[in-house]
Amino acid sequence: RKEVEQDPGPFNVPEGATVAFNCTYSNSASQSFFWYRQDCRKEPKLLMSVYSSGNEDGRFTAQLNRASQYISLLIRDSKLSDSATYLCVVNRDVGDMRFGAGTRLTVKP
């Protein structure tokens, strides 16, 4: 079993839709959590950190449930430019970052 598991997708949604991605992690000692975005044939880039109290960045909301070892990302009012693969990332220790396999999102006109 992979240490970080994500919805496999793909998610195909119309512009303006709300879409949610889920992620679970197996190591309860994990200390910090992130969502990354990766465009086709490009390198991943940080989208946002995930805090225990939940946090928002514009149309993006991230949630963490440590008891259930579960992380989520909600995208509201989807744009064509949101089309990408979204990667859940878990930080176990200094230098040790583990990625989920990613969920592909396609937003259509």
Partner 1 sequence: NAGVTQTPKFQVLKTGQSMTLQCAQDMNHNSMYWYRQDPGMGLRLIYYSASEGTTDKGEVPNGYNVSRLNKREFSLRLESAAPSQTSVYFCASSEGRVGTGELFFGEGSRLTVL
The binding site for partner 1 (CB under 8 A) comprises 3, 6, 31-34, 36, 42-46, 49, 87, 89, 91, 93-102
CA distances, 73 to each of 41, 70, 93 (Å): 22, 11, 23
Q: What is the smallest separation between the CB atom of 46 and partner 1, expressed in angstroms?
A: 5
Q: What is the smallest separation between the CB atom of 96 and partner 1, expressed in angstroms?
A: 6
Q: What is the smallest separation between the CB atom of 49 and partner 1, expressed in angstroms?
A: 6
Burial 48-69 (b: 16+ CB within 10 A, else e): bebeeeeeeeeebbbbbeeeeb
Q: Which is nearer to partner 1, 58 or 109 (CB)?
A: 58
Q: Which is nearer to partner 1, 14 or 95 (CB)?
A: 95
Q: What is the smallest separation between the CB atom of 71 and partner 1, expressed in angstroms?
A: 12
The identity of residue 101, as a single letter, is A
Q: Which is nearer to partner 1, 76 or 92 (CB)?
A: 92
β-pairing verdict for 84-93 and 32-38: antiparallel
